[in-house]
Chains A and B, each alone.
Chain A
Amino acid sequence: MSSLSRNHTLKIDPRTELLLLVMANVVAFTQHSVWVEITWVVLLLLLIIVCGCKKAAGKLAVAFGIFLFLQYYVFPNGPKMIASSFTIIVSYARKIFPCLIVGTLILQKTPVREFMVSLRKCHIPQGLIIPLSVTIRYFPALKEEVGYIRDAMKLRDIHGAEKIECLLVPIMISAATTAEELSAAAVTRGIENPAQKTSMIDMKFGVQDFVCLALGAVFCVISIAVG
């Protein structure tokens, strides 16, 4: 599979993305040098830009800039009150940026199926993957249900606290039937087959994955050593 898809954006293996997420965490909570942090964030932003998340990258970059500005310009020069009450929040919020960036990439650019295939390749047991994928699939279904039920409540003039109860009962009922029907359909499609599951898409690490992971590893080492 080519690393460049039709619209000329880079494609990263979901496993790389997961590892990057772990590395983002390691770097975020071990490093103490702001320059390491800034370089790390900039590199990750560049990565998600070449992967096609331009808009999200822009927003994240602006937000990160504001946090830096607050901490290095506003707090030292502004009133003490503000500095002492907000320093901790701001510096910790800034630390989660690398994770936010990688998270954005995963959510926006990774189809559920690729994610599942890569989990399978990492030898995560099938008993965990199936419930996970069905759960992910259930969220949009839930959204649909809630839409219908809200319409129904409006038509019956149900307001205030009653609403929550009125929402829960039909959702529980429909969840129960959906679960029953879904499992019936699943067993007739051989979900219980003990054979090693396969996939039409085959996933291989490309150069881009190794580069990402190598850079990530370098940053981990630096931040642990320097920090």
Chain B
Amino acid sequence: MIDIKDVSFEYGKEQGTLSRIDLEIRQGECVLLCGESGCGKTTITKLINGLIPHFVEGGTLSGATFVNGMEVAKTEMYHLAEQVGSVFQNPKSQFFNIDSDSEVTFGLENAGAAPSEIRERFEATVSALSIQPLLGRNIFSMSGGEKQSLAFASVYAMNPSVFVLDEPTANLDAEAIDILRQQMIRIKKEGRTVIVAEHRIYFLMDLIDRAIFIQNGKIAQIFTREEFHKISENQRIRMGLRSLVYPTLKLPHADPPGAKVGLSVENLACTIDKQTVFGGINFSAVPGEVLGIIGHNGAGKTTLIRCLCGLLKESHGTVQLDGKAVNVKRRNKASFCVMQDVNHQLFSDSVWNECEVSKPDCPAERIEKILETFELLSFKDRHPMALSGGQKQRLAVATAILSSKYLLVFDEPTSGLDYRRMLEVSDMIKNLKSENRVILIVSHDFEFLNRTCDKIFGMEGCSAERRKSCVGNI
């Protein structure tokens, strides 16, 4: 049982705060923490897993949090770790080993469990969560979904009575989300307490017992499952929440190849290390249209993007721009990709210089105008890394527009975004339509695709299923 008693917390100056949180969570309950980014839901998870006050430095905390009778602030992290397991947002930064088997046993080895007990828990975890396909593998060869599954398993192996999940699906596709859902059903059945902070809610609807809606660091409302199910579409939009129902795509198919303007892809195939990733890709996208590209992890979406952007040579087929076949080199000159982790593509020491790097001979007025359209002009002397996620993304797009790229590709532009921020990205992309460019979006986010795209291209059926295995359902 978890008891948060009149807790207020303040980070340094800039970040949000929590004020006077009172919350009791019964053993075996599954509780959703929802609300906009920065509302404080992650902060509440940190109260429970002890990162506040043990790990976060320089905050002021008042009130007390109890987990299974232990006062969090007065308990060592490693004691808490035996009862509270945490899965975080980023699958890449949660593992400590290179091979998967070591990762599953990591927590138990830290606690100094007897080798026979470790082996027992290892076997129990493997069969309870059906992770056989993940065993004996190099973690760096795993997809984001597989890594997250492994993180979940390594927490499960420690046998905690409380699971704290902080935006666990931010980087996952629909299939991986479903696996996580199955794992959550399992731990709930076993009577473990689950606290999950999430933007994506639809997959949790029948799992949760209560939903806590948080606004500006305060608990604004507590819903029972039944009450939460009754929320109307208008109300959930007012609350700034993502879709409550499983979103389905309602978009027409992409045009067949052969467009005389824009992009036409005909019978395209790519191989990596002599293995075919996909073949027979056929579609067109005309300027001013936004085309969504979908396909589950491993279908080769990233490879397709790299090929279209001229970072990878095709093994077969042609790519045409405005009716003319273009080779790898020319595609590279004509295209830009806004990456999922936009931090990889901002290099300069200020927003203004970032623009100048893109087009050294560009007149200042044009840069000013473009920064203005992307609402970045007032930040022109800021370091790009000091911008918010959305601003970084807009800056990356601004650099692409400046260097007159014809083909713009967005790779998962909405991963981990709340409703309002998703709308912002959607509006920005829709505004680009008037610019006479070909725009492609690769995404798992159906709610976003429905709002933003005109047509859709599905990669299913084109891919040669590179993956050796996938985690089965439980």
Contacts and interface: CB of A to CB of B under 8 A. Distances in A.
Interface stretch (A7-15, A38-46, A187-195): A187-195
Interface stretch (A53-61, A93-101, A129-137): A129-137
A134 B102 CA distance: 13
A187 to B, nearest CB: 5
B347 A140 contact: no
A148 interface: yes
B77 interface: yes
A198 interface: yes
Given A155-B332, A156-B357, A188 B84 contact: yes
Contact of A187 (B77, B108, B118, B337): B77
Interface in B137-185: 140, 151, 154-155, 158
Interface string A118-150: 000000000000000110110011001100110
B400 to A, nearest CB: 8
A188 B98 contact: no
Contacts of B447: none
B93 A185 contact: yes
B339 A190 contact: no
A154 interface: yes
Interface string B45-77: 000011100110000000000000000000011
Contacts of A137: 95-98
A108 to B, nearest CB: 14
A182 B96 contact: yes
Nearest to B340: A148
B469 interface: no
Nearest to A130: B96
A184 to B, nearest CB: 6
A196 B112 CA distance: 5
A196 B99 CA distance: 22
B385 interface: yes
A178 B385 CA distance: 15
A154 to B, nearest CB: 6
Contacts of B96: 133-134, 137, 182, 185-186
A173 to B, nearest CB: 6
Nearest to B77: A187
A199 to B, nearest CB: 6
A197 B335 CA distance: 52
B111 A195 contact: yes
B88 A185 contact: yes
Contact of B335 (A111, A141, A155): A155
B107 A152 contact: no
A149 B317 CA distance: 27
A181 B90 contact: yes
Given A137-B97, A155-B309, A190 B399 contact: no
A191 B108 CA distance: 10
A188 B76 CA distance: 10
Contact of B344 (A149, A177, A181, A186): A149
B86 interface: yes
Interface residues of B, number: 66
Contacts of A22: none
Interface in B168-223: none
B54 A187 contact: yes
B235 interface: no
Contacts of B102: 111-113
Interface in B377-412: 385, 399, 403
B15 interface: no
B375 interface: no
A190 B110 contact: yes
A76 interface: no
A197 B311 contact: no
B345 interface: yes
Interface in A183-225: 183-202
B93 A190 contact: no
A189 B332 contact: no
A124 B453 CA distance: 58
B50 A140 contact: no
Given A134-B96, A189-B110, A155 B345 contact: yes
Interface in B78-105: 78, 80-82, 84-86, 88, 90, 92-99, 101-102, 105
Contacts of A141: 92, 140
Given A140-B98, A155-B335, A156-B345, A188 B51 contact: yes
Contacts of A177: 93
Contacts of B51: 184, 187-188
6 contacts: A112-B97, A165-B347, A181-B94, A189-B155, A190-B81, A193-B112
Interface of B: 49-51, 54-55, 76-78, 80-82, 84-86, 88, 90, 92-99, 101-102, 105-115, 118-119, 122, 140, 151, 154-155, 158, 306, 309-311, 332-333, 335-337, 339, 341, 343-347, 357-358, 385, 399, 403
Task: Enumerate the 5 nearest inter-chain pairs by beta-carbon distance, A residue then B residue, closest first.
Answer: A195-B112, A190-B81, A152-B345, A193-B78, A181-B93
Given A182-B96, A188-B86, 10 more contacts: A111-B102, A113-B99, A151-B339, A153-B347, A158-B347, A185-B94, A195-B110, A198-B108, A200-B109, A200-B115
Interface of A: 111-113, 133-134, 136-137, 140-141, 144-145, 148-149, 151-158, 162, 165-166, 169-170, 173-174, 177-178, 181-202
